[in-house]
Homo-oligomer: A and B are copies of this chain.
């Protein structure tokens, strides 16, 4: 049997989504972007996400003030912008301008914009904020979703697996590739499996 090596307790859940959160306060006009890997889906009905942010981050008070944020999914082509927005502060830079990203109105929201260059975004309204220690966990309800037209086929099916979405894996960014299967594929009859899997090869 393979052997495990102990390491100190740490944030080792991998891979986690690496997303750009766009937001805007009420008193300030300038929108901001914060890169977050401490994000997850927490509920299906209604759809909810968690996003954890340190109190000292510039975006923290913008999100708390407006009660809104937008989760922008990121593709490999924008990994550099993703990283930069996670290292630099909105106190010092206009991140949209620096990264040549475009703030567009986000569906169903009043303050937080979406990032036009991202493959998809989720408009979220804050339902609760919980202090956990280093981070505050914002629970947001997903009130709108938009996906780039190019990720749809003519038959109306959406193919997010083609986007090369970025994830964070204990210090490095990787992209989601190679469709290994679909939900329930381990029980699919051979002909169903073959037919469904062929969709992902196109």
Name A's B-contacting residues (CB within 8 A). Answer: 1-17, 19, 37-50, 52, 71, 73, 76, 79-81, 83-84, 86-87, 102, 107, 114, 116-117, 120-122, 132-135, 137, 139, 142-150, 152, 158, 160-161, 165-187, 200
How many copies of this chain are found per oligomer? 2
Q: Are the C-beta atoms of B145 and A12 separated by less than 8 Å?
A: yes
Q: Are the C-beta atoms of B146 and A7 separated by less than 8 Å?
A: yes
A177 to B114, CA, bound (A): 27
Question: What 4 A-B pairs have minimum CB-CB distances, sorted nearest first?
Answer: A40-B40, A4-B146, A43-B132, A174-B176
Q: Are the C-beta atoms of B160 and A49 separated by less than 8 Å?
A: no
Q: Are the C-beta atoms of B177 and A2 separated by less than 8 Å?
A: no
